[in-house]
Amino acid sequence: NRGNKKLEEVITGTRNEKVLTPALVRCSTPQKLRSTTPQKAAGLPGGMRLRRNSALYADTRFTGTRGLQPSEQGNSFFGPHTPGISILYGDVYDVTQFLPEHPGGSKVVLKLAGRDATEEFDPIHPSGTLAENLDPSCKLGRVDPATLVAPAVSESSAKREQEGPVDVQTLLNLDEIEEVATKKISQKAWAYYYSASDDLFSKSFNNQVYRQILMRPRVFVDCTNCDTTTTLLGHKVGLPLYVAPAAMARLAHPDGEYGIAQGISSFGALQIISNNASQKPEEIVANSAPGQIFGWQIYVQNDRAKSIAMLKRINALPNIKFIVLTLDAPVPGKREHDERVGSLGRGLDAISDGTGEKREAKGGVGKTLFFGTATDLTWKTTLAWLKEHTDLPIVLKGVQTHEDAYLAMQFAPQIKAIILSNHGGRAMDTAPPAVHTLLEIRKYCPEVLSRIEVWVDGGIKRGTDVVKALCLGAKAVGVGRAALFGLGAGGKEGVERTFEILQAEIETCMRLLGVSKVSELGPKHINSRAVERDIYDGHAGLEKVGLWVSAKL
């Protein structure tokens, strides 16, 4: 209420009638109504009915201030055990029935109760989310736009608008692209993309470790031609560079993951679609270039039926050639930048939603996305379960020791590749960078490199970083944040510019090394001695691993 003026919210009923609503429905413990009929008590016309076992707050009135806001008499409507009534895309929804099932917990929904939630809802939910998860009866009607007060434009939003468009062709490296994107995207988006665990050591070291590896250029070599094509899982790609699974791309730009797919299409690059993508996989792969291939990342859910249903959809998409089972983050790391901005409501108590499961009171986008992720995955059970539901090749993401790389090799040919990754420094801080694990494999079990493909991600800022990883035996190198910041800086064109820069730097590096093909790169082209001093130097432990595999399988 502003200026002590109380307004009644106007919505349009099922018969295109404008209805004054002095009361709204909540799905909770039924209460005795103050009128003989629910319709009269709620002030609804005959064409609109209350659902069974509904309860009313007969004195609740709503203003038009930034959507549905409770009047002084109706503040109790938004108590800790009441439903969320929100405006989405111009419709008024009662989302009470979905509170116990919301992947991010009920608090995210309750934060948006009583107002227009479209701006926050739309960038992080694929199209069709409402239709797939809510009963049609939850749609209460249309809101009258005339009763809504436009939300105030924040200082940061106004500043972003003043920045204006940027010619991405003037940006010369990934740091400049990130700088532009940081100015253009929301604080919430930046915090989610930038954040990493604890002190951000692993995030920083992922890149710093590449600075410790020196190149060994050769001279008097014809470097006229340079071919960056290679094969990944038997598929020809234009670059040994892929987009690692990175969630919530529409926080950066409305084009989202689809924009990333379009941006890399001319390079023949591969994209792994995040399990938490902000668009449907069917939308992301639509209109892809001939021969463009994708992978799908899966976080196995506690409710296995949800994972099975998604795998069924993925199996039906011919452009998706493999499944990436992510293992390095069974629980979210402590990402303070993300938590500081926060995606959950202020001053709301964590509640169980009737499930008996206490949900955390604080967190950011990252913790929200992890709700419902299974923590009981094992070598013995999970791969067998996965085999029952897909024939697609499996790539294990998040391997951080040579022992686990060796174990993964035992499961070939179901497992075709592994990705050495510490989740971009977002899971366990001080976990080793991919380069360390790659050197461990070369030292303790080099046969892994010939039995399955080994990919890496994390810390890539230059084409020279890509080439160094390839020299150590990596088959492909992934970028996650770089693609998101490219999208934030300029949409599809920003992603194109990101890959254009990296491709040019890769080609320049290869030419100066005296290499004309990716397949020619090897350890002789680099000096990694400074890094080798820091890798794990204990017992290989592969005998025990071998016995364990024999016993368990």
Q: What is the Cα gyration radius of the chain?
A: 26
**Between helices 174-184 and 481-513, what is the axis angle to 10°?**
170
Start-to-end CA distance of the chain, whole Å, equals: 66
Residue 299 appears among annotated catalytic residues: yes
Residues 44, 101: contact at Cβ < 8 Å? no
> Which of the following is catalytic: 94, 116, 255, 328?
328
**How are beta strands 241-243 and 18-20 bridged, if at all?**
unpaired
Angle formed at CA 346 by CA 340 and CA 349, multiple of 5 degrees = 115
Say which of 102, 402, 423, 436 is annotated catalytic.
Answer: 423
Mapping DSSP onto H, E and C, the string for 356-408 reads: CCCCCCCCCHHHHHHCCECCCCCCCCHHHHHHHHCCCCEEEEEECCHHHHHHH
> How do 415-420 and 394-399 pair as beta strands?
parallel
328 is catalytic: yes
Catalytic residue flag (residue 258):
no
Q: 537: helix, coil or strand?
A: coil
Cis? peptide before 413, omega within 30° of 0: yes
Give yes or no for a contact between 212 and 530, defined as CB atoms under 8 angstroms apart: yes
Phi, psi of 524 (to 5 degrees): -65, -15
Strands (DSSP E) contained in 89-240 are 91-94, 139-143, 214-215, 230-232, 235-237
Buried b (16+ CB within 10 A) or exposed e, 25-58: bbbeeeeebeeeebeebbebeeebebeeebbbbe
Residue written as token pair 């419902």: 372
Active-site pick, 192, 258, 299, 444: 299
Q: 494, 521, 495: which is closest to 507 by C-alpha?
A: 521
Cβ–Cβ < 8 Å for 283, 361? no
| Cβ atoms within 10 Å of 528's Cβ, excluding its own | 20
Catalytic residues: 299, 328, 423
